[in-house]
Amino acid sequence: MGGSSADIEALLVDVTDPDNPTPGTLPAIFRDIVGRLDAAGLPYAVVGRIALTLHEQARFVGDIEIVAGLDPDGGDHAAELMRATRAGFVAHMDPHQCRRPIELTLRPCTGATEVRLLGEAITRPWFGISARLASAEHLLWLWCRTEDPDYAMNASALIAGGTVDLYRVQGLLREKDDAEESGPRRLRLAIGDAVLSTTSSFSRFMAERRARLDPNRGAVWRLGAAEAADGPAP
């Protein structure tokens, strides 16, 4: 299962205030920051719910999250790029000027594993430009290392979509000897949630299927078994 940026754009509406233009500016903000990263020649991967849509179904998004291959002192470079983007969209990104501002996060890679995963980003046309989106494994690995409660729900949805290599993610989580147990534990919980969701869906399907069957019509194998138990007719 997967989608496109058009699926996201269809959801960019403030349902409490349809005349609010801020949600609809997210694609323009996305194009601006990605264009600045490309112009600077920086490797990057878009993460978060925007990238989740590539692997699963679209959800409303109000933020843009990007991981980039910046220099060790890349924090200043990232801040400079974000300032330039925010200057052009201040009416939609400044919390003092709009009720629900669009948030932008741009951070450098943390560790060799993340740098390597940047190289596996998937290039797709996204919001009208060519952009690099995180792979399913990159997303799940990140979410297993983050405490944000929303990520558990996203991880479960990603696993249920069936596009992520769980063995690869488990290997990535074990690469560091000092890795905390919380990451693998969250992965197991997300897998369990996804399995339960799938099992529940299957159970509903079977219940609906049984309801459609004629209750007076027995299965052939049951009729045969009943005749064998009764013995030959006298």
Q: What are 6-25's pLDDT values in tens digits?
A: 999 999 998 888 899 999 99
Residue 219 has a pLDDT of: 45
Q: Output phi, psi for 45, to 5 deg.
A: -145, 130
Residue 220 has a pLDDT of: 46
Q: At what angle do helices 182-212 and 136-144 cross, to 10 degrees?
A: 120
Tokens of 36: 């600045």
Q: Which residue has the higher pLDDT, 224 or 17?
A: 17
45 touches 122 (CB < 8 A): no
49 touches 59 (CB < 8 A): yes
Mean pLDDT of the chain, nearest integer: 81
> At 39, which helix (H) or strand (E)?
helix 26-39
Residue 213 has a pLDDT of: 59
pLDDT in tens, 69-95: 987 665 688 889 999 999 999 999 999
C-alpha span between 175 and 187 (Å, rounded): 15
Residue 159 has a pLDDT of: 83
Write the CB contacts of 153 (distance below 8 Å, at least 6 apart in sequence). Answer: none
* pLDDT tops 90 at residue 96: yes
Residue 127: name the closest of 78, 58, 69 by CA: 58
163 touches 41 (CB < 8 A): no
pTM, two decimals, is: 0.76
Q: At what angle do helices 149-160 and 182-212 cross, to 10 degrees?
A: 50
State whether the Cα torsion 106-108-110-111 is positive or negative: positive
- pLDDT bin (cut points 50, 70, 90) of residue 64 is very high
Residue 180 has a pLDDT of: 53
pLDDT in tens, 26-50: 999 999 999 999 999 999 999 999 9
Over residues 129-136, the mean pLDDT reads 96
29 touches 23 (CB < 8 A): no
CA distances 100 to 28, 59, 62, 140, Å, are 16, 17, 8, 27
56 touches 140 (CB < 8 A): no
Buried b (16+ CB within 10 A) or exposed e, 114-135: beebbeebbebebbeeebbbbb
